[in-house]
Structure 1
Amino acid sequence: MAESKSFTSSVHVDQALSRFGAGLISTAILHPLDVIKIRFQGGTIHSFKDIAQKEGVLKGLYRGVATSVVGAAASWGLYFWCRIKKRKRKDTEGRLAAWQHLVASAEAGAITVITTNPIWVIKTRLCSTTRYTPDAYNGFWNGLTRLVKDEGLRGAYRGMVPALFGVTHAAIQFMSYEEIKKWRHDVRHSQGKIPKHERNVNLSTQEYLTMASVSKVTAAVVTYPYQVVRSRLQVNSSGNGEGECRGAVNCVKKIKSVEGFGGFYKGLAPNLIRVLPGTCVTFLVYENLTQYFKKHATD
């Protein structure tokens, strides 16, 4: 099958740029909900007001936003760069099967996690502390320098085991999204609204929002416990203090014995509130950038 026209030198670069921009925009807008999720104690609205009043909007709710944007942009861009679809065997209509989407997403996710884990350690520690917290990081570069100097590679890769498990989150999300989109295309083909030979069409905003929401909520509910474990591991600087985790397995045991099953879903409400608008913004920006690149593609 001939290489499709592209806006840049490759359709894969187009996809990477689309996701890069989508991740950057959605992360910058919705960062305050990440801060609330990581520090979660009370209700979302209560936590929002409490942080804003005590620390201010910019220095409180947007603490660590630069690190979050760097991490999100790097993750989304690298993720799509690594999703080497053209190496996967497609069907007669040029489409991938569900399991191929799952494998491609898992491969890209694993590479992305290994590459960006230190950024998320710094982001988690910034969001879990205030500027008044003793010995807290001042920002991304301060955090990176101190992390490498004080804890080395072991510190930089704290929480990577549950993060690798979390690759299933993205895999489930993208497999679900692509399968729902494929189903929607087939429905519109059967209704005669799309020419039979045309596969890559721009669906409506409502369709993209629905597909993105369903796929993201499904993945979030199934895989949320790993995020709790990862955050607990990354917040701890040494794992030697009382009540601190000494590894992924130890962390799971502690949460189960102290907090019960509900402990693995602590902070789920603000997380769901965050992922829905975040996913909608991300996928809408991505799909529209993709369509823009296709419309202005050159040979």
Structure 2
Amino acid sequence: MSKKEKPIHSLIAGTTAGAVEAFITYPTEYVKTRSQFSGKRESPLAIIKSTLQQKGVAGLYSGCMALVIGNAVKAGVRFVSYDHFKHALADAEGKVSPPRSLLAGLGAGMTEAVFAVTPSETIKTKLIDDAKSPNPRFRGLIHGTTCIVREEGLRGIYRGLFPVMMRQGANSAVRFTTYTTLKQFVQGQGRSSQQLSSPMTFGIGAVAGLVTVYTTMPLDVIKTRMQSLEARQAYKNAFHCAYRIYTEEGLRRFWTGTTPRLARLVLSGGIVFTVYENIIRVIGGRAA
């Protein structure tokens, strides 16, 4: 039976990996989110150009702290819960089949959506939506969060919970299943103790990110729309949002923002798994 990862090790490694990944890749998240708002379609390059002209480099980091903090908590929750579910679903030899890895990832994604992702993503999305106006209302993370809670209550930062749960469940299910399957394939049957190099871990994580993007993009677009400043007036619920996007803007709109999200998740998949595996190794957890 394989050794179950200590929760404190998973938490430390996961939160660190999540914070590092979020800060490095944030500009791609900013561009992706901006491109998914309703209204005039803008290419990633056009968004970058206009933001740099109007706000400077700092503009590409609007809402960054909300995501860094949320991503750190999210990654910690994700790895702790995934290790828990994976251990519970492992066979007598400690191996996890792809279907069981999918189930473990789904559980991890649902857990992180409730405890970390929805509040941080909602705040981040509203901050980015506000920052694109000529006269932004919010003066930063704390002020923006305070205003949102005061005006909309706690429901304001949990807006879009259902599409976030669907997206995170799908994200984690696809990403962990792809990563675990490729990792077990590379290590070879019966040699689970073989350590992978950091470049190999990065490559496997990047492939997992690539697969995740194309399979979950529609859920990401719906999530962004449901968390925008105009969501309360524009959409009754996630299904109404999806219906309006499809009938008014067409099927292709569900894949808006694919390029910047692809850049982020390919990088993030590599960064997160590489940082996580190396920290686990350093602090005395299982071998990668």
- TM-score normalised to structure 1 length: 0.85
Q: Aligned to 2:30, what secondary structure does the other structure show?
A: helix
Q: Which residue number in structure 2 is paired with residue 245 of structure 1? A: 235
Q: Which residue number in structure 1 is paired with residue 67 of structure 2? A: 68
Which of 252, 268, 279 aligns to 1:289? It is 279
Identical counterparts, % of pairs? 27
Q: Which residue number in structure 1 is paired with residue 173 of structure 2? A: 171
* Aligned counterparts of 1:86 and 1:251: Cα–Cα separation in 2: 34
Q: Aligned to 2:62, what secondary structure does the other structure show?
A: coil
Deviation at 1:86, TM superposition (A): 6.7
Q: Is 2:195 the counterpart of 1:202?
A: yes
* Aligned counterparts of 2:254 and 2:42: Cα–Cα separation in 1: 16
Deviation at 1:87, TM superposition (A): 5.1
* Aligned counterparts of 2:3 and 2:211: Cα–Cα separation in 1: 33
* Aligned counterparts of 1:25 and 1:205: Cα–Cα separation in 2: 16
Which amino acid letter does the alignment assign opposite residue 47 of structure 2?
Answer: S
Which amino acid letter does the alignment assign opposite residue 66 of structure 1?
Answer: M
Which amino acid letter does the alignment assign opposite residue 79 of structure 2?
Answer: F
Which amino acid letter does the alignment assign opposite residue 64 of structure 1?
Answer: G
* Aligned counterparts of 1:213 and 1:295: Cα–Cα separation in 2: 23
Deviation at 1:134, TM superposition (A): 4.2
Q: Is 2:88 the counterpart of 1:93?
A: no
Change (3 A) 1:55 1:94: same
Change (3 A) 1:153 1:237: farther
* Aligned counterparts of 2:134 and 2:22: Cα–Cα separation in 1: 24
Q: Is 2:31 the counterpart of 1:29?
A: no
Q: Is 2:224 the counterpart of 1:231?
A: yes
Q: Which residue number in structure 2 is paired with residue 268 of structure 1? A: 258
Q: Is the 8 A contact 1:64 1:139 kept in 2?
A: yes
Q: Is the 8 A contact 1:220 1:272 kept in 2?
A: yes
Deviation at 1:108, TM superposition (A): 2.1
Q: Is the 8 A contact 1:101 1:171 kept in 2?
A: yes
* Aligned counterparts of 1:16 and 1:229: Cα–Cα separation in 2: 29
Q: Is the 8 A contact 2:2 2:94 kept in 1?
A: no
Q: Which structure has more helix as a fraction of its residues?
A: 2
Which amino acid letter does the alignment assign opposite residue 196 of structure 2?
Answer: L
Which of 183, 186, 196 aligns to 2:185? It is 183
Deviation at 1:143, TM superposition (A): 2.3
* Aligned counterparts of 1:136 and 1:35: Cα–Cα separation in 2: 18
Change (3 A) 1:93 1:152: same
For these two proteins, the number of residue pairs brought into alignment is 279
* Aligned counterparts of 1:89 and 1:250: Cα–Cα separation in 2: 36
Change (3 A) 1:154 1:86: closer
* Aligned counterparts of 1:20 and 1:230: Cα–Cα separation in 2: 23
Q: Is 2:143 the counterpart of 1:142?
A: yes
Deviations 1:197-223 (A, max 9, x none): x52332123322331122111121011
Q: Which residue number in structure 2 is paired with residue 279 of structure 1? A: 269
Which amino acid letter does the alignment assign opposite residue 31 of structure 1?
Answer: Y
Deviations 1:241-270 (A, max 9, x none): xxx222111111110011111010111111
* Aligned counterparts of 1:272 and 1:87: Cα–Cα separation in 2: 30
Q: Aligned to 2:26, what secondary structure does the other structure show?
A: helix
* Aligned counterparts of 1:77 and 1:158: Cα–Cα separation in 2: 22
In the alignment, structure 1 segments of 5+ residues that lack a partner are 5-9, 190-195
Q: Is 2:204 the counterpart of 1:211?
A: yes
Deviations 1:152-190 (A, max 9, x none): 23322211111111111111110111011111111xx6x
Deviation at 1:113, TM superposition (A): 0.9
Change (3 A) 1:132 1:168: closer
Change (3 A) 1:225 1:86: closer
**RMSD over aligned Cα atoms:** 2.3
* Aligned counterparts of 2:109 and 2:8: Cα–Cα separation in 1: 17
Q: Is 2:15 the counterpart of 1:20?
A: yes
Q: Aligned to 1:294, what secondary structure does the other structure show?
A: coil
Q: Is the 8 A contact 2:226 2:238 kept in 1?
A: yes
* Aligned counterparts of 2:270 and 2:108: Cα–Cα separation in 1: 21
Return the index of the structure with the highest Cα Rg. Answer: 1
Deviation at 1:237, TM superposition (A): 4.7
Q: Which residue number in structure 2 is paired with residue 113 of structure 1? A: 113
Which amino acid letter does the alignment assign opposite residue 265 of structure 2?
Answer: V
Q: Is 2:116 the counterpart of 1:126?
A: no
Which amino acid letter does the alignment assign opposite residue 161 of structure 1?
Answer: F
Farther-moved stretch of structure 1 (74-83 vs 63-72): 74-83
